[in-house]
Amino acid sequence: MIDQLGNGLLLGIIIAMASVALSLLYGVTRIVNFAHGEIIALGAIMASYFSNPRTSRYIFFEDLSPIGLSFEISIVLAIFICGLFGALLEVLVFRPLRKNDFGNIAVLVITIGISIFLRHFFLIFASSKPQGYPLELQRREQYFIFDLTPRDAKLIVFGVIIMIIFGLFISFTKVGKQMRAVRDSNELANISGINSDNIILYTWILSSMLAGAAGIFQGMINDVRWNMGFLILLLVFAGTVLGGIGTSFGAMVGGFLIGIVVQVSVALPFMEGHSEAKNAIALSLMIFILLVRPQGIFGKKERIS
């Protein structure tokens, strides 16, 4: 089991980032965004498109070859594009829906439509073959008790740093505090003069950027695929539910735990030879938590039923 802990940390930090992003969006806008997975994938695919050399075998959109920029610049560009995409979604889709009083269920179904559309757009754009980044292979080494490649270890560290920066942002900056105010009560926030339209826009941008980063990380430990977002989406839901609604910290812990559970469960005795079902274990855990403690570990007691 200890061998898997390293992988667990890795997957954990990725799902944690994605869960925090989803949880923030839901908290502020009350939207369950089924297209969240596609924003995650967008980050990875953009990073792949920008960073792979022109001569690589990757093809985008029939015969577009990748751009061949440095990996660092590609990451920045990819995250920026995700943020931009989130902003577009809000301005072009969700704000008009909000202004026209569309109910939560209707919006949920619309996010499903967006998810299906985007995912298959990626299929056409990035082909059905798995992709990656132009990074050299590394060997695993021992970091304390964890079995990781140096890059993996860096990812975990970066991920933690990103989470800390996010935490500082949401707790201490003006915009962050306003986001929390809207999350806790939209009416009160409006009364105290907060422009909720702007806050919602910033939330979409922040959430999308964070999701994109998670996607880029995920692309480093697994392949970059057109449907990679969908594969991970349910685990991200699980992390958010497990951690609790209305709390970013909860989402982070929940996401982390789900990642660890997924990887470590492979080592359980009855799972031998059944490693593919590891996601099922994590999902079952989510359902179990919803039964016994529906508000999650850290969540406030909102009416779940």
Partner 1 sequence: MILKSKLGIGLFLISISFFGVYTLNPDGPNRILINLLTFAGIYAISAMGLNVHFGLTGLINFGHAAFMGVGAYTTILLIPHAAGREGSLNESGLPLLLAIVIGLIASALFGLIIGLPAIRLRGDYLAIVTIASSEIFRLTVRDQEEFTGGVYGVISFSDSFQNKRPKFVENLALILDVSVGQLWVAISSWVIVVLLFFILKRLQHSPWGRTLRAVREDEDAVRALGKNAVWIKLQSFMLGASIAGLSGILLAFNYGTLQVEMFVPLLTFYIWAIMILGGVGSLSGPVFGSILFWSFISETDQLASLIFENADGQQIAGVRFMLVGILIIILMVFRPSGIMGKKEELLLDVK
Give me the residues that bind partner 1 (CB under 8 A), please: 32, 62-63, 97, 100-106, 108-110, 112-121, 123-124, 127-128, 230, 234, 237-238, 241, 274, 276-277, 279-280, 283-284, 286-287, 290-291, 294, 303-305
Q: How far is the CB of 261 from partner 1 (least distance, A)?
A: 14
Q: How far is the CB of 172 from partner 1 (least distance, A)?
A: 30
Q: How far is the CB of 23 from partner 1 (least distance, A)?
A: 13
Nearer to partner 1, 30 or 154 (CB): 30
Of the candidates 113, 78, 67, 74, which has an alpha carbon nearest to the alpha carbon of residue 215? 78
Between the alpha carbon of residue 28 and those of residues 111, 184, 206, 246, the distances in Å are 16, 8, 12, 9
Nearer to partner 1, 2 or 280 (CB): 280
Nearer to partner 1, 122 or 256 (CB): 122
Nearer to partner 1, 201 or 290 (CB): 290
d(CA 3, CA 95): 47
Q: How far is the CB of 143 from partner 1 (least distance, A)?
A: 31
**Tally of residues, the chain:** 305
Q: How far is the CB of 299 from partner 1 (least distance, A)?
A: 12
Nearer to partner 1, 56 or 160 (CB): 56
Q: How far is the CB of 282 from partner 1 (least distance, A)?
A: 9
Distance of CA 43 to the CA centre of its chain: 10
Between the alpha carbon of residue 206 and those of residues 4, 47, 71, 125, 135, the distances in Å are 31, 18, 22, 25, 27
Q: How far is the CB of 123 from partner 1 (least distance, A)?
A: 4
Nearer to partner 1, 76 or 284 (CB): 284
169-177, Cβ contacts within 8 angstroms, sequence gap of 24 or more: 169/206, 170/24, 170/248, 175/199, 175/202
Q: How far is the CB of 142 from partner 1 (least distance, A)?
A: 32
DSSP 163-232: HHHHHHHHHHSHHHHHHHHHHH-HHHHHHTT--HHHHHHHHHHHHHHHHHHHHHHHHHHS-B-TTHHHHH
Contacts of 123 (CB under 8 A, 6+ apart): 226, 227
Nearer to partner 1, 32 or 221 (CB): 32
The amino acid at residue 105 is I
Rounded to the nearest 10 degrees, how much is the dihedral formed by the CA atoms of 75, 119, 16, 210?
A: 40
Nearer to partner 1, 86 or 299 (CB): 299
